[in-house]
Chains A and B, each alone.
Chain A
Amino acid sequence: MSHALRVVAAEALKQHRRLFGQPLVLFSMLLWPLLTLAATYYTVLPVMESAAAPQRWPVAADPRRLLAFLAAGALAYTFFFSLVQSAWHFSFERVSGTLEALFLSPASRMALVIGNGAAALTQNAWLFGCFAVAAATAADVLDVAHPGMYAVAAVALLVPAVAWGAFLNSLLIFSRDSAFLYTLLDDPLWFVAGVRLPLFALPVWIKAVGLAFPLTSSLVVLRGALLDRADLGDLAAPLGWLALLTVGLFAGASALLRLGEARVQRTGGLQVF
């Protein structure tokens, strides 16, 4: 176990050093989500100002609550999409030849993909996370049933995100078509998970697709716990579903790593790029 922890820490530090040059780059991690949030807010604002909107969705009547709703969406999306990016970057190790060096070592493959995802979360999401929490507190839009719900929201965001990252990393390190999946998981993920719109506004089939992504349920818990005064009882269903998805993603990651490594050992595919 201690070896696995060493691998997670080493992998996280390595990815940080590989991907970040100047410290100034860190601030783009705040700027980019903020720009996206502003673009989204001013896109939906004219629609929300129509008379019919607040009747169907009360949040639309209050610009501060609308902004908080969208900010929660942007925050959660930043967490999950940073892991898509990290998996994409990991796939480049195949080209540079370092992936072979990883597979030569006795390190746990699961520890490697978790470490890689953890690095992405830490470096891509913390700044915007801190900003979002500070802004929501200052704007007095938080409505929490119990202080413990902060922890529930954090866990509901972090743990499924790590599982999502492990799953994607396991998928992409053996794939030569990672750019395709990267594109597939950008705008569609934003759309089907209800990042910009409340889930009830989406067609049933899109809601069904969205349920397959942990981001959807993480967002339901995050918004419910921090903005809508929901308690554990109110959030039992999405939390249960999230737990199932998380277990499924870790199990899927483990299977993918095992099958993927067996396949490249059979075909010699690790040296092809």
Chain B
Amino acid sequence: MSTGIVTTDLRKTFPVRRWQGWRRRPVAAPVAAVDGLSLRIPPGQVTGLLGLNGAGKTTTIRILSTLLRPTGGTVRVDGLDVVEHAREVRRRINVISGGERMVYDRLTARENLWYFGQLYDVPRARLRVRIGELLDLVGLTDAAQVPVERYSRGMRQRLVIARGLINDPAYLLLDEPTLGLDAPIAHQLRALIAQLAADGVGVLLTSHYLAEVEQLCRHVYLIARGSLVAQGSPAQLAGQTVRRHTVRLVLTVADPAVTVALRTLAARHDAELTVDVDDEGRPRFALRHPEDLVGAVVTAVVQQGGTIAGLTVTPPTLEDAILTLADPAVVAR
């Protein structure tokens, strides 16, 4: 039996119905939210799933968690098909979404966790211990008997996280889990996710905070319009983009000779050069190229007698990769 969550040629189309006269009829072409996606989420690792809004990330998570049924392809969780063995799959996974839904307002944190523990058939003795552990883990022990309706947004989200861990899931699907959280709480959650992966849990993470993905994920799938467009480690993905190292330079005063030298340098290396002024009116240059041209840039400026006020070099970023690879125009090509 293969371990991990494995999707093969996964497809999901939604039937779309529109009003025509007094009846709602299906339109000719259903909307494809996921289109031939093949992924692997192994245990003991955080795997990222990235894409722009509407790329199909949440739909994918909903299929993996059995809330949606695929139109085509297969999803297996430790060898179990999510359609045929949905109940067994549900015992092994859980989902944490950002946005503080999925808990009961009039119940306390302890009551919420007890209730969901019953739904997941957590053994009674284990559940008592587990509730205490989780409340402690998310820092809600002191507020355990307070109705959730009195919680702050951050506290509610922490309870949502505890709910998602109540069944000791083998696989955890995280859909924007740090959405709206304060920095310290988000930091704690990232540490928790890393710890869970170290303990053997297979984690799938979608997030708009790319630093979070770069920090946590060993492997990232980048999707656009429901299809896979790239995969690899965050560093590998970032390296696949056209825009790479960016050298940003600010001069103390404008100097036409320096400008000409930098334009010549850019033309010789086929680099992208932009010139503008900063907030203080000083000339600013940005040179983008697959190689790090900082040495050549500094040499050119010094040879022309220019004075450098500021110099930064930005390595390739995951954001660059997403913007480039998930761009609809790029995907269409």
Interface residues of A (CB under 8 A from B): 3, 6-7, 9-10, 13-14, 17-18, 21, 96-98, 100-107, 262, 265-268, 270-271
**List of A residues within 8 angstroms of B118 by Cβ:** 6-7, 9-10, 107
- Which residue from chain B places its CB closest to the CB of A93 in the assembled complex? B104
Known interface pairs A106-B90, A266-B15, A266-B69; A14-B102 also in contact (CB < 8 Å): no
Do residues B14 and A107 form an inter-chain contact, with CB atoms below 8 A?
Answer: no
At the interface, yes or no: B91 with Cβ under 8 Å from chain A?
yes
Q: Which residues of B contact A (CB under 8 A)?
A: 14-15, 59, 62, 65-69, 87-88, 90-91, 94-95, 99, 101-107, 111, 114-116, 118-121, 163
A98/B104 in contact, CB under 8 A: yes
Distance, CA A105 to CA B33, complexed state (A): 24
Tell me if A6 and B90 are in contact (CB < 8 A).
no
Q: What residues of chain B lie closer than 8 Å to A101, measured between beta carbons?
A: 102-103, 116, 163
Residues of B within 8 A of A9 (CB): 118
Q: Which chain B residues border A18 with CB–CB below 8 Å? A: 104, 106-107
The answer to whether B67 touches A105 (Cβ under 8 A) is no
Task: With CB as the reference atom, state the residue of chain A lying closest to B92.
Answer: A106
> Are B67 and A103 neighbours in the complex by a CB distance under 8 Å?
yes
Using CB atoms, name the residue of chain A closest to B108. Answer: A17
CB contact under 8 A between A97 and B102, given known A104-B65, A105-B116, A270-B67: yes
- Give complex CA distance A13, B88 in Å: 26
- Closest CB-CB distance, A80 to chain B, in whole Å? 26
> Which of chain B's residues has its CB closest to A10's CB?
B118
Q: Which among A3, A96, A106 is the interface contact of B105 at CB below 8 angstroms?
A: A96
Q: List 25 A-B contacts (CB under 8 A).
A: A7-B118, A10-B114, A10-B118, A10-B119, A14-B111, A17-B104, A17-B106, A96-B104, A97-B99, A97-B102, A98-B101, A102-B119, A103-B66, A103-B67, A104-B67, A104-B95, A105-B119, A106-B91, A107-B119, A265-B67, A265-B68, A266-B68, A267-B15, A270-B67, A271-B62
The chain A residue with its CB closest to the CB of B111 is A17
Tell me, in angstroms, the Cα distance from A267 to B90 when the chains sit together: 20
- B15 CB to nearest chain A CB (Å): 6
Chain A residues whose CB sits within 8 angstroms of the CB of B99 once the complex forms: 97
The 5 closest A-B pairs by CB, nearest first: A97-B101, A10-B118, A265-B69, A105-B119, A107-B119
> Closest A-chain residue to B122, C-beta based?
A6
A103 to B62, CA, bound (A): 11
For residue A96, which residue of chain B has the nearest CB?
B101
B115 touches A10 (CB 8 A): yes
A104 and B90 within 8 A (CB): yes
Q: A10-B115, A106-B121, A265-B68 are in contact. Are A100 and B106 (CB under 8 A)?
A: no
- 11 further A-B contacts with Cβ under 8 Å, apart from A100-B67, A107-B119, are A14-B104, A14-B111, A17-B104, A17-B107, A18-B107, A97-B102, A101-B102, A104-B94, A105-B116, A105-B120, A267-B14
Q: Which residues of A contact B94 (CB under 8 A)?
A: 104
Cβ distance A222 to chain B, nearest Cβ, rounded Å: 34
